A and B are shown apart, each in its own frame.
Chain A
Protein backbone atom coordinates (compact mmCIF):
# COMPACT_ATOMS: atom_id res chain seq x y z
CA UNK A 1 0.00 0.00 0.00
CA UNK A 2 1.15 3.56 -0.63
CA UNK A 3 2.54 5.37 2.37
CA UNK A 4 0.48 8.42 3.14
CA UNK A 5 2.88 10.42 5.28
CA UNK A 6 5.70 10.99 2.75
CA UNK A 7 3.12 11.79 0.12
CA UNK A 8 1.52 14.45 2.31
CA UNK A 9 4.96 15.83 3.10
CA UNK A 10 5.70 16.05 -0.61
CA UNK A 11 2.39 17.77 -1.41
CA UNK A 12 2.93 20.21 1.46
CA UNK A 13 6.44 21.01 0.31
CA UNK A 14 5.31 21.64 -3.27
CA UNK A 15 2.46 23.88 -2.15
CA UNK A 16 4.86 25.87 0.00
CA UNK A 17 7.28 26.18 -2.92
CA UNK A 18 4.47 27.39 -5.17
CA UNK A 19 3.40 30.01 -2.63
CA UNK A 20 6.95 31.30 -2.19
CA UNK A 21 7.73 31.42 -5.91
CA UNK A 22 4.37 33.01 -6.66
CA UNK A 23 5.06 35.79 -4.17
CA UNK A 24 8.52 36.31 -5.66
CA UNK A 25 6.94 36.42 -9.11
CA UNK A 26 4.19 38.92 -8.38
CA UNK A 27 5.34 41.02 -5.43
CA UNK A 28 9.12 40.98 -5.12
CA UNK A 29 10.77 40.96 -8.53
CA UNK A 30 8.40 43.45 -10.21
CA UNK A 31 9.99 46.02 -7.86
CA UNK A 32 13.36 45.27 -9.41
CA UNK A 33 12.51 45.53 -13.08
CA UNK A 34 15.33 46.02 -15.56
CA UNK A 35 14.19 48.05 -18.53
CA UNK A 36 10.56 47.37 -17.70
CA UNK A 37 11.11 43.62 -17.69
CA UNK A 38 10.61 41.35 -14.69
CA UNK A 39 11.90 37.76 -14.55
CA UNK A 40 9.50 34.86 -14.92
CA UNK A 41 10.04 33.20 -11.55
CA UNK A 42 7.12 30.80 -11.86
CA UNK A 43 8.59 29.22 -14.96
CA UNK A 44 11.76 28.36 -13.03
CA UNK A 45 9.68 26.40 -10.52
CA UNK A 46 7.61 24.59 -13.14
CA UNK A 47 10.59 23.83 -15.35
CA UNK A 48 12.91 22.63 -12.57
CA UNK A 49 10.32 20.40 -10.89
CA UNK A 50 9.43 19.24 -14.40
CA UNK A 51 12.82 17.73 -15.16
CA UNK A 52 13.84 16.87 -11.59
CA UNK A 53 10.69 14.99 -10.72
CA UNK A 54 8.96 14.46 -14.07
CA UNK A 55 5.73 12.58 -14.57
CA UNK A 56 2.37 13.61 -13.23
CA UNK A 57 3.87 15.87 -10.56
CA UNK A 58 5.26 18.11 -13.31
CA UNK A 59 1.85 18.44 -14.90
CA UNK A 60 0.05 19.17 -11.64
CA UNK A 61 2.63 21.75 -10.51
CA UNK A 62 2.45 23.40 -13.93
CA UNK A 63 -1.30 23.60 -13.98
CA UNK A 64 -1.50 24.63 -10.30
CA UNK A 65 0.97 27.48 -10.81
CA UNK A 66 -0.93 28.57 -13.90
CA UNK A 67 -4.27 28.67 -12.08
CA UNK A 68 -2.67 30.71 -9.32
CA UNK A 69 -1.49 33.26 -11.87
CA UNK A 70 -4.85 33.20 -13.64
CA UNK A 71 -6.59 34.27 -10.46
CA UNK A 72 -4.43 37.35 -10.16
CA UNK A 73 -4.17 38.24 -13.82
CA UNK A 74 -7.59 39.38 -14.99
CA UNK A 75 -7.09 38.02 -18.48
CA UNK A 76 -8.62 34.82 -19.82
CA UNK A 77 -8.98 32.39 -16.92
CA UNK A 78 -7.25 29.14 -17.89
CA UNK A 79 -4.68 30.69 -20.21
CA UNK A 80 -1.74 30.47 -17.80
CA UNK A 81 -2.97 27.06 -16.62
CA UNK A 82 -2.70 25.87 -20.21
CA UNK A 83 0.70 27.45 -20.89
CA UNK A 84 2.36 26.26 -17.69
CA UNK A 85 0.84 22.80 -18.10
CA UNK A 86 2.46 22.53 -21.52
CA UNK A 87 5.78 23.77 -20.08
CA UNK A 88 5.58 21.19 -17.28
CA UNK A 89 4.83 18.45 -19.79
CA UNK A 90 7.73 19.37 -22.07
CA UNK A 91 10.18 19.53 -19.17
CA UNK A 92 9.02 16.20 -17.77
CA UNK A 93 10.26 14.68 -21.04
CA UNK A 94 13.82 15.55 -19.99
CA UNK A 95 13.50 13.80 -16.64
CA UNK A 96 15.53 10.77 -17.76
CA UNK A 97 18.32 12.90 -19.20
CA UNK A 98 19.13 14.83 -16.07
CA UNK A 99 21.98 13.89 -13.73
CA UNK A 100 22.07 16.29 -10.79
CA UNK A 101 25.37 18.13 -10.76
CA UNK A 102 25.46 19.72 -14.20
CA UNK A 103 24.05 23.28 -14.44
CA UNK A 104 24.02 23.50 -18.24
CA UNK A 105 20.91 21.43 -18.90
CA UNK A 106 18.77 23.16 -16.23
CA UNK A 107 19.69 26.62 -17.50
CA UNK A 108 19.08 25.56 -21.09
CA UNK A 109 15.70 24.08 -20.18
CA UNK A 110 14.63 27.14 -18.19
CA UNK A 111 15.64 29.43 -21.06
CA UNK A 112 13.83 27.26 -23.62
CA UNK A 113 10.75 27.05 -21.40
CA UNK A 114 10.64 30.82 -21.13
CA UNK A 115 11.01 31.12 -24.89
CA UNK A 116 8.15 28.66 -25.46
CA UNK A 117 6.11 30.65 -22.96
CA UNK A 118 6.76 33.82 -24.95
CA UNK A 119 5.91 32.10 -28.21
CA UNK A 120 2.65 30.77 -26.81
CA UNK A 121 1.54 34.15 -25.50
CA UNK A 122 2.55 35.86 -28.73
CA UNK A 123 0.87 33.20 -30.88
CA UNK A 124 -2.33 32.86 -28.87
CA UNK A 125 -2.92 36.51 -28.04
CA UNK A 126 -0.74 39.04 -29.82
CA UNK A 127 -0.79 37.40 -33.23
CA UNK A 128 -4.56 37.03 -32.98
CA UNK A 129 -4.77 40.76 -32.28
CA UNK A 130 -2.99 41.46 -35.58
CA UNK A 131 0.32 42.43 -33.95
CA UNK A 132 2.56 41.04 -36.67
CA UNK A 133 5.88 42.61 -35.71
CA UNK A 134 7.23 39.35 -34.33
CA UNK A 135 10.85 40.53 -34.33
CA UNK A 136 10.04 43.43 -32.04
CA UNK A 137 8.44 41.16 -29.45
CA UNK A 138 11.34 38.71 -29.61
CA UNK A 139 13.97 41.38 -29.04
CA UNK A 140 12.13 43.59 -26.60
CA UNK A 141 10.10 41.19 -24.51
CA UNK A 142 11.17 37.58 -24.93
CA UNK A 143 14.98 37.84 -25.02
CA UNK A 144 15.31 40.31 -22.10
CA UNK A 145 12.92 38.19 -20.06
CA UNK A 146 14.90 35.02 -20.83
CA UNK A 147 18.21 36.66 -19.87
CA UNK A 148 16.83 38.03 -16.60
CA UNK A 149 15.08 34.75 -15.80
CA UNK A 150 18.23 32.72 -16.39
CA UNK A 151 20.23 35.10 -14.18
CA UNK A 152 17.67 34.81 -11.40
CA UNK A 153 17.52 31.04 -11.81
CA UNK A 154 21.23 30.80 -10.94
CA UNK A 155 20.00 31.44 -7.41
CA UNK A 156 16.42 30.20 -7.44
CA UNK A 157 17.32 26.81 -8.94
CA UNK A 158 19.01 25.56 -5.79
CA UNK A 159 16.14 25.80 -3.26
CA UNK A 160 14.04 23.53 -5.50
CA UNK A 161 16.97 21.21 -6.16
CA UNK A 162 17.70 20.72 -2.45
CA UNK A 163 14.01 20.44 -1.62
CA UNK A 164 13.69 17.65 -4.17
CA UNK A 165 16.76 15.87 -2.79
CA UNK A 166 15.46 16.16 0.74
CA UNK A 167 12.09 14.76 -0.28
CA UNK A 168 13.70 11.84 -2.10
CA UNK A 169 15.90 11.09 0.89
CA UNK A 170 13.01 11.09 3.31
CA UNK A 171 11.03 8.89 0.91
CA UNK A 172 13.82 6.32 0.98
CA UNK A 173 14.10 6.53 4.75
CA UNK A 174 10.44 5.75 5.24
CA UNK A 175 10.71 2.88 2.75
CA UNK A 176 13.51 1.37 4.76
CA UNK A 177 11.46 1.66 7.92
CA UNK A 178 8.67 -0.31 6.30
CA UNK A 179 10.96 -3.13 5.22
Chain B
Protein backbone atom coordinates (compact mmCIF):
# COMPACT_ATOMS: atom_id res chain seq x y z
CA UNK B 1 0.00 0.00 0.00
CA UNK B 2 2.91 2.31 -0.58
CA UNK B 3 3.15 5.20 -3.01
CA UNK B 4 -0.49 6.06 -3.44
CA UNK B 5 0.55 9.20 -5.33
CA UNK B 6 1.27 7.14 -8.46
CA UNK B 7 -1.20 7.40 -11.28
CA UNK B 8 -3.04 4.09 -11.00
CA UNK B 9 -5.45 2.53 -13.46
CA UNK B 10 -8.14 0.42 -11.74
CA UNK B 11 -7.70 -3.27 -12.58
CA UNK B 12 -11.36 -3.83 -13.32
CA UNK B 13 -11.44 -0.88 -15.71
CA UNK B 14 -8.39 -2.14 -17.55
CA UNK B 15 -9.93 -5.61 -17.64
CA UNK B 16 -13.01 -4.27 -19.42
CA UNK B 17 -10.89 -2.31 -21.88
CA UNK B 18 -8.73 -5.35 -22.69
CA UNK B 19 -11.77 -7.61 -23.04
CA UNK B 20 -13.19 -5.16 -25.54
CA UNK B 21 -9.90 -5.20 -27.44
CA UNK B 22 -10.00 -9.02 -27.50
CA UNK B 23 -13.48 -9.04 -29.00
CA UNK B 24 -12.43 -6.42 -31.53
CA UNK B 25 -9.47 -8.60 -32.52
CA UNK B 26 -11.78 -11.60 -32.88
CA UNK B 27 -14.20 -9.63 -35.02
CA UNK B 28 -11.36 -8.22 -37.10
CA UNK B 29 -9.82 -11.63 -37.70
CA UNK B 30 -13.23 -13.06 -38.55
CA UNK B 31 -13.98 -10.34 -41.09
CA UNK B 32 -10.58 -9.68 -42.62
CA UNK B 33 -8.50 -12.73 -41.69
CA UNK B 34 -6.17 -10.50 -39.66
CA UNK B 35 -3.60 -12.50 -37.78
CA UNK B 36 -1.14 -10.20 -36.09
CA UNK B 37 0.16 -7.93 -38.83
CA UNK B 38 3.42 -6.22 -37.89
CA UNK B 39 3.61 -7.99 -34.52
CA UNK B 40 3.59 -11.27 -36.39
CA UNK B 41 6.64 -10.26 -38.42
CA UNK B 42 8.53 -9.28 -35.27
CA UNK B 43 7.53 -12.51 -33.54
CA UNK B 44 8.67 -14.40 -36.59
CA UNK B 45 12.25 -13.20 -36.28
CA UNK B 46 12.34 -13.69 -32.52
CA UNK B 47 10.75 -17.10 -32.17
CA UNK B 48 11.25 -19.12 -35.32
CA UNK B 49 15.06 -19.48 -35.00
CA UNK B 50 14.73 -20.46 -31.34
CA UNK B 51 11.93 -22.91 -32.03
CA UNK B 52 14.00 -24.52 -34.75
CA UNK B 53 16.90 -25.04 -32.39
CA UNK B 54 14.83 -26.22 -29.46
CA UNK B 55 12.82 -28.65 -31.50
CA UNK B 56 16.02 -30.09 -32.90
CA UNK B 57 17.32 -30.68 -29.38
CA UNK B 58 13.95 -31.89 -28.11
CA UNK B 59 13.51 -34.53 -30.81
CA UNK B 60 17.16 -35.46 -30.35
CA UNK B 61 16.60 -36.22 -26.67
CA UNK B 62 13.35 -38.10 -27.14
CA UNK B 63 14.91 -40.16 -29.91
CA UNK B 64 18.29 -40.83 -28.30
CA UNK B 65 16.66 -42.97 -25.63
CA UNK B 66 15.45 -45.21 -28.40
CA UNK B 67 18.59 -45.53 -30.51
CA UNK B 68 21.07 -46.70 -27.92
CA UNK B 69 22.35 -49.69 -29.93
CA UNK B 70 25.47 -51.72 -29.38
CA UNK B 71 28.31 -51.91 -31.88
CA UNK B 72 27.53 -55.53 -32.82
CA UNK B 73 23.94 -54.68 -33.52
CA UNK B 74 25.07 -51.82 -35.73
CA UNK B 75 27.49 -54.01 -37.69
CA UNK B 76 24.83 -56.65 -38.24
CA UNK B 77 22.37 -54.01 -39.28
CA UNK B 78 24.91 -52.47 -41.63
CA UNK B 79 25.49 -55.81 -43.36
CA UNK B 80 21.83 -56.52 -43.86
CA UNK B 81 21.27 -52.97 -45.09
CA UNK B 82 24.12 -53.24 -47.63
CA UNK B 83 22.52 -56.38 -48.99
CA UNK B 84 19.20 -54.58 -49.13
CA UNK B 85 20.72 -51.62 -50.97
CA UNK B 86 21.99 -53.93 -53.71
CA UNK B 87 18.66 -55.58 -54.04
CA UNK B 88 16.86 -52.27 -54.15
CA UNK B 89 19.25 -50.82 -56.72
CA UNK B 90 18.37 -53.63 -59.09
CA UNK B 91 14.69 -53.05 -58.42
CA UNK B 92 15.14 -49.32 -58.96
CA UNK B 93 16.68 -49.79 -62.40
CA UNK B 94 13.75 -51.95 -63.36
CA UNK B 95 11.34 -49.40 -61.98
CA UNK B 96 13.02 -46.59 -63.87
CA UNK B 97 12.56 -48.44 -67.11
CA UNK B 98 8.91 -49.02 -66.29
CA UNK B 99 8.51 -45.40 -65.19
CA UNK B 100 9.82 -44.15 -68.50
CA UNK B 101 7.41 -46.39 -70.30
CA UNK B 102 4.59 -45.17 -68.06
CA UNK B 103 5.46 -41.55 -68.75
CA UNK B 104 5.39 -42.17 -72.46
CA UNK B 105 2.01 -43.83 -72.16
CA UNK B 106 0.72 -41.06 -69.87
CA UNK B 107 1.76 -38.48 -72.41
CA UNK B 108 -0.19 -40.38 -74.97
CA UNK B 109 -3.22 -40.42 -72.75
CA UNK B 110 -2.72 -36.88 -71.44
CA UNK B 111 -3.01 -38.15 -67.90
CA UNK B 112 -0.26 -36.19 -66.24
CA UNK B 113 -2.10 -35.19 -63.08
CA UNK B 114 -0.52 -37.16 -60.30
CA UNK B 115 0.44 -35.25 -57.20
CA UNK B 116 4.01 -36.34 -57.63
CA UNK B 117 4.19 -33.69 -60.29
CA UNK B 118 3.23 -30.69 -58.17
CA UNK B 119 6.05 -28.37 -57.25
CA UNK B 120 6.76 -28.82 -53.55
CA UNK B 121 9.08 -27.49 -50.89
CA UNK B 122 10.18 -29.51 -47.86
CA UNK B 123 9.67 -28.12 -44.37
CA UNK B 124 10.42 -29.12 -40.79
CA UNK B 125 7.81 -29.14 -38.06
CA UNK B 126 9.25 -26.71 -35.50
CA UNK B 127 6.41 -26.41 -33.00
CA UNK B 128 3.45 -28.57 -32.25
CA UNK B 129 0.08 -27.08 -31.43
CA UNK B 130 -0.62 -24.42 -28.87
CA UNK B 131 -3.20 -26.55 -27.10
CA UNK B 132 -4.35 -30.13 -26.60
CA UNK B 133 -7.67 -29.11 -28.12
CA UNK B 134 -6.35 -28.30 -31.56
CA UNK B 135 -4.25 -30.25 -34.00
CA UNK B 136 -2.17 -27.51 -35.53
CA UNK B 137 1.58 -27.21 -35.91
CA UNK B 138 4.16 -24.71 -37.14
CA UNK B 139 6.59 -25.33 -40.00
CA UNK B 140 9.77 -23.43 -40.81
CA UNK B 141 8.80 -22.19 -44.28
CA UNK B 142 6.82 -19.01 -44.93
CA UNK B 143 6.17 -16.31 -47.49
CA UNK B 144 9.94 -16.06 -48.12
CA UNK B 145 9.76 -19.54 -49.62
CA UNK B 146 6.55 -18.91 -51.54
CA UNK B 147 4.17 -20.48 -49.03
CA UNK B 148 0.68 -18.99 -48.94
CA UNK B 149 -2.49 -19.51 -46.93
CA UNK B 150 -4.60 -22.45 -48.23
CA UNK B 151 -1.66 -24.34 -49.68
CA UNK B 152 -1.87 -28.09 -49.11
CA UNK B 153 0.58 -29.97 -46.93
CA UNK B 154 1.48 -33.59 -47.66
CA UNK B 155 3.91 -36.00 -46.15
CA UNK B 156 5.35 -38.98 -47.99
CA UNK B 157 2.18 -41.00 -47.77
CA UNK B 158 -0.70 -38.55 -48.04
CA UNK B 159 -2.56 -35.43 -47.04
CA UNK B 160 -1.51 -33.78 -43.78
CA UNK B 161 -3.40 -30.51 -43.76
CA UNK B 162 -3.67 -26.97 -44.99
CA UNK B 163 -1.84 -23.70 -44.27
CA UNK B 164 -4.04 -21.38 -42.21
CA UNK B 165 -1.61 -18.65 -41.27
CA UNK B 166 1.69 -17.57 -42.74
CA UNK B 167 4.56 -15.34 -41.63
CA UNK B 168 7.83 -14.49 -43.38
CA UNK B 169 9.57 -17.70 -42.35
CA UNK B 170 6.93 -19.80 -40.65
CA UNK B 171 3.47 -21.11 -41.40
CA UNK B 172 0.76 -22.62 -39.23
CA UNK B 173 -0.82 -25.80 -40.56
CA UNK B 174 -4.17 -27.22 -39.50
CA UNK B 175 -4.03 -30.96 -39.91
CA UNK B 176 -6.93 -33.00 -41.27
CA UNK B 177 -7.42 -34.63 -37.86
CA UNK B 178 -8.18 -31.27 -36.20
CA UNK B 179 -11.69 -31.05 -34.83
CA UNK B 180 -12.41 -28.04 -37.02
CA UNK B 181 -11.05 -29.55 -40.24
CA UNK B 182 -13.32 -30.69 -43.00
CA UNK B 183 -12.25 -31.80 -46.45
CA UNK B 184 -14.35 -32.42 -49.51
CA UNK B 185 -13.21 -35.89 -50.55
CA UNK B 186 -14.11 -38.70 -52.92
CA UNK B 187 -13.80 -42.44 -53.13
CA UNK B 188 -10.94 -43.21 -55.49
CA UNK B 189 -12.61 -46.21 -57.07
CA UNK B 190 -16.07 -44.80 -57.77
CA UNK B 191 -15.51 -41.02 -57.64
CA UNK B 192 -18.42 -40.68 -55.19
CA UNK B 193 -18.14 -37.51 -53.13
CA UNK B 194 -18.11 -37.36 -49.36
CA UNK B 195 -16.97 -35.15 -46.51
CA UNK B 196 -14.01 -36.06 -44.32
CA UNK B 197 -13.85 -34.21 -41.02
CA UNK B 198 -11.65 -34.44 -37.96
CA UNK B 199 -13.08 -35.32 -34.58
CA UNK B 200 -11.05 -35.05 -31.39
CA UNK B 201 -13.14 -37.70 -29.64
CA UNK B 202 -12.78 -40.22 -32.46
CA UNK B 203 -9.10 -39.42 -32.84
CA UNK B 204 -8.40 -39.93 -29.13
CA UNK B 205 -10.37 -43.16 -28.95
CA UNK B 206 -9.33 -44.91 -32.13
CA UNK B 207 -6.98 -42.72 -34.22
CA UNK B 208 -9.56 -42.28 -36.93
CA UNK B 209 -11.32 -39.44 -38.73
CA UNK B 210 -14.93 -39.16 -39.70
CA UNK B 211 -16.46 -39.72 -43.13
CA UNK B 212 -19.97 -38.45 -43.86
CA UNK B 213 -22.42 -37.73 -46.67
CA UNK B 214 -21.23 -40.51 -48.92
CA UNK B 215 -23.71 -41.38 -51.65
CA UNK B 216 -23.04 -44.95 -52.56
CA UNK B 217 -26.22 -46.32 -54.07
CA UNK B 218 -24.45 -49.25 -55.75
CA UNK B 219 -22.84 -50.45 -52.50
CA UNK B 220 -19.43 -50.50 -54.11
CA UNK B 221 -17.48 -48.92 -51.28
CA UNK B 222 -16.00 -51.42 -48.86
CA UNK B 223 -13.69 -51.36 -45.89
CA UNK B 224 -10.19 -50.67 -47.17
CA UNK B 225 -11.20 -48.48 -50.10
CA UNK B 226 -8.91 -45.49 -50.65
CA UNK B 227 -10.31 -42.01 -50.05
CA UNK B 228 -8.68 -39.04 -51.82
CA UNK B 229 -9.33 -35.29 -51.99
CA UNK B 230 -12.07 -34.49 -54.44
CA UNK B 231 -11.82 -32.39 -57.56
CA UNK B 232 -14.75 -30.24 -56.45
CA UNK B 233 -12.99 -29.14 -53.25
CA UNK B 234 -12.40 -25.40 -53.17
CA UNK B 235 -9.12 -25.53 -51.28
CA UNK B 236 -7.61 -28.98 -51.71
CA UNK B 237 -5.91 -30.14 -54.87
CA UNK B 238 -7.55 -33.24 -56.33
CA UNK B 239 -6.35 -36.80 -55.89
CA UNK B 240 -4.29 -36.57 -52.69
CA UNK B 241 -4.66 -39.72 -50.60
CA UNK B 242 -6.29 -39.12 -47.20
CA UNK B 243 -6.75 -42.64 -45.89
CA UNK B 244 -8.65 -45.89 -46.13
CA UNK B 245 -12.24 -46.58 -45.13
CA UNK B 246 -12.29 -48.57 -41.91
CA UNK B 247 -16.01 -48.58 -41.07
CA UNK B 248 -19.09 -47.74 -43.08
CA UNK B 249 -22.75 -47.65 -42.10
CA UNK B 250 -25.91 -46.51 -43.75
CA UNK B 251 -27.38 -43.28 -42.38
CA UNK B 252 -30.91 -43.06 -41.00
CA UNK B 253 -32.09 -41.35 -44.18
CA UNK B 254 -31.15 -44.43 -46.29
CA UNK B 255 -29.54 -42.15 -48.87
CA UNK B 256 -26.10 -41.51 -47.57
CA UNK B 257 -23.51 -43.45 -45.63
CA UNK B 258 -21.07 -42.44 -42.98
CA UNK B 259 -18.22 -44.08 -41.17
CA UNK B 260 -14.59 -43.67 -40.30
CA UNK B 261 -11.28 -43.46 -42.14
CA UNK B 262 -7.85 -44.47 -40.97
CA UNK B 263 -5.51 -41.70 -42.10
CA UNK B 264 -2.34 -42.75 -43.90
CA UNK B 265 -0.16 -40.14 -42.23
CA UNK B 266 1.34 -40.82 -38.81
CA UNK B 267 0.39 -37.54 -37.14
CA UNK B 268 2.08 -38.40 -33.85
CA UNK B 269 5.56 -38.54 -35.34
CA UNK B 270 5.37 -35.86 -37.98
CA UNK B 271 8.75 -34.16 -38.48
CA UNK B 272 9.16 -33.33 -42.14
CA UNK B 273 6.37 -32.37 -44.50
CA UNK B 274 6.05 -31.12 -48.07
CA UNK B 275 4.22 -27.93 -48.98
CA UNK B 276 2.59 -28.02 -52.41
CA UNK B 277 3.38 -24.62 -53.90
CA UNK B 278 0.21 -24.52 -55.92
CA UNK B 279 -3.20 -23.22 -54.97
CA UNK B 280 -6.40 -24.81 -56.11
CA UNK B 281 -7.93 -22.69 -58.83
CA UNK B 282 -11.66 -22.50 -58.47
CA UNK B 283 -12.70 -19.37 -60.30
CA UNK B 284 -15.05 -18.49 -57.45
CA UNK B 285 -14.33 -17.32 -53.93
CA UNK B 286 -16.85 -19.34 -51.97
CA UNK B 287 -15.59 -21.75 -49.35
CA UNK B 288 -17.62 -24.81 -50.07
CA UNK B 289 -15.74 -27.16 -47.75
CA A76 – CA B59 in complex, angstroms?
Answer: 29
CA A66 – CA B21 in complex, angstroms?
Answer: 13
On whether the beta carbons of A27 and B130 are closer than 8 Å, the reply is: no
Shortest CB-to-CB span from B235 to chain A, Å, is: 14
Residue A103 CB within 8 A of the other chain: no
Chain A residue, CB-CB nearest to B163: A74
CA A81 – CA B25 in complex, angstroms?
Answer: 9
8 A Cβ contacts from A28-59 to B: 28, 30-32, 36-38, 40, 54-56, 58-59
Known: A121-B131, A141-B133. A78 touches B23 (CB 8 A): yes
Interface size on B, residues (CB 8 A): 56
CA A130 – CA B201 in complex, angstroms?
Answer: 12
Residue B138 CB within 8 A of the other chain: yes
On whether the beta carbons of A73 and B134 are closer than 8 Å, the reply is: yes
Residue from B23, B26, B129, B172 in contact with A30 in the complex, judged by beta carbons closer than 8 Å: B129
Taking CB atoms, residues of chain B closer than 8 Å to A32 are: 58, 62
On whether the beta carbons of A26 and B130 are closer than 8 Å, the reply is: yes
Residue from A31, A58, A133 in contact with B55 in the complex, judged by beta carbons closer than 8 Å: A31
CA A70 – CA B165 in complex, angstroms?
Answer: 10
Chain B residue, CB-CB nearest to A85: B18
On whether the beta carbons of A141 and B132 are closer than 8 Å, the reply is: yes
Question: What are 22 pairs between A and B in contact, CB < 8 Å?
Answer: A19-B50, A26-B127, A26-B129, A27-B51, A27-B126, A31-B128, A32-B62, A37-B132, A55-B11, A56-B9, A59-B11, A69-B130, A72-B165, A73-B172, A74-B35, A74-B165, A74-B174, A75-B136, A77-B28, A89-B15, A141-B133, A141-B204
On whether the beta carbons of B134 and A75 are closer than 8 Å, the reply is: yes
Taking CB atoms, residues of chain B closer than 8 Å to A72 are: 43, 47, 127, 130, 138, 165, 170, 172
List 8 A-B pairs, minimum CB-CB distance, nearest first.
A78-B25, A30-B128, A77-B29, A74-B172, A74-B164, A78-B26, A31-B58, A26-B127
Kindly list 7 other residue pairs between chains A and B, CB separation below 8 angstroms, not including A30-B58, A140-B201: A27-B127, A28-B58, A32-B62, A58-B11, A74-B136, A118-B133, A125-B133
CA A89 – CA B260 in complex, angstroms?
Answer: 42
Known: A32-B62, A133-B201. A76 touches B172 (CB 8 A): no
CA A37 – CA B130 in complex, angstroms?
Answer: 11
Residue A161 CB within 8 A of the other chain: no
Taking CB atoms, residues of chain B closer than 8 Å to A69 are: 130-131
On whether the beta carbons of A68 and B34 are closer than 8 Å, the reply is: no
Taking CB atoms, residues of chain B closer than 8 Å to A81 are: 21-22, 25
Taking CB atoms, residues of chain A closer than 8 Å to B50 are: 19, 23, 27
CA A63 – CA B15 in complex, angstroms?
Answer: 10
Residue B14 CB within 8 A of the other chain: yes
Chain A positions 104 through 130: 1 when the CB is less than 8 Å from some CB of chain B, otherwise 0: 000000000000001001100110010
CA A59 – CA B22 in complex, angstroms?
Answer: 12
Chain B residue, CB-CB nearest to A63: B18
Residue B188 CB within 8 A of the other chain: no
On whether the beta carbons of B29 and A78 are closer than 8 Å, the reply is: yes
Taking CB atoms, residues of chain B closer than 8 Å to A129 are: 179-180
Known: A77-B34, A77-B36. A26 touches B128 (CB 8 A): yes
